[in-house]
Amino acid sequence: MRKLLLFAYICAAAIGVTTGCRFAHEEPLGDTVAASVFAPKDTAAINKKKKAKVAAIVKDSADVFYIGSGSDRQTLQLLSYPSRRDTFSYGKTAHIKVEGSADTGRVVKVAFYVLPSGDSLVSKVMEKKD
């Protein structure tokens, strides 16, 4: 009787070993993920980039301009203050009021007159003294 039980255990173990190997999960090594994916982000570098980006954005003043070299008798060329990146050309009203100097390159504050059609004309130029 003992021999029969021992034979049954050996047969069960032999069947278990062969089927266990056949159903073993196989992982391809080509699908590994780099360790940098799991590394924490360097927040110091990210914050430094954000601060540099914000510093590069210069907010221009709404009604303060430089007088550009393209100004003539009918039009006034205005450059945005302080960046000088944007250029505007406006017509002048018949009687423009000037306080101070309105020479090329001067920093001025400008008052506009809006026509009923929606166009804007420069009605007053005041030199800004800093």
Range of the domain at 116: 58-127
Is 2 contained in some domain? no
- Tens of pLDDT, residue by residue over 47-74, are 888 888 776 666 667 788 999 999 988 8
pTM of the model: 0.51
In this structure, is residue 7 part of a structural domain?
no
Number of domains making up the chain? 1
CATH number of the domain encompassing residue 80: 2.40.50.140
Asked if residue 123 belongs to a domain, the reply is yes
For the segment 64-100, what is each residue's pLDDT rounded down to a tens digit?
Answer: 899 999 998 889 999 988 888 888 898 988 888 999 9
Q: 80-99 burial string, b = 16+ CB within 10 Å, else e?
A: bbeeeeeeeebebeeeeeee
Distance CA 81, CA 58 (A): 10
30, part of any domain: no
Is 26 a member of any domain?
Answer: no
31 CB-contact burial (10 Å; exposed 0-12 / middle 13-18 / buried 19+): exposed
Say if 121 falls within a structural domain.
yes
Other beta carbons less than 10 A from residue 122's beta carbon: 22
Cβ atoms of 82 and 61 closer than 8 Å = yes
- For 110-119, the pLDDT digits (tens) are 998 889 998 8
Whether 27 maps to a domain, the answer reads: no
Does residue 21 form part of some domain?
no
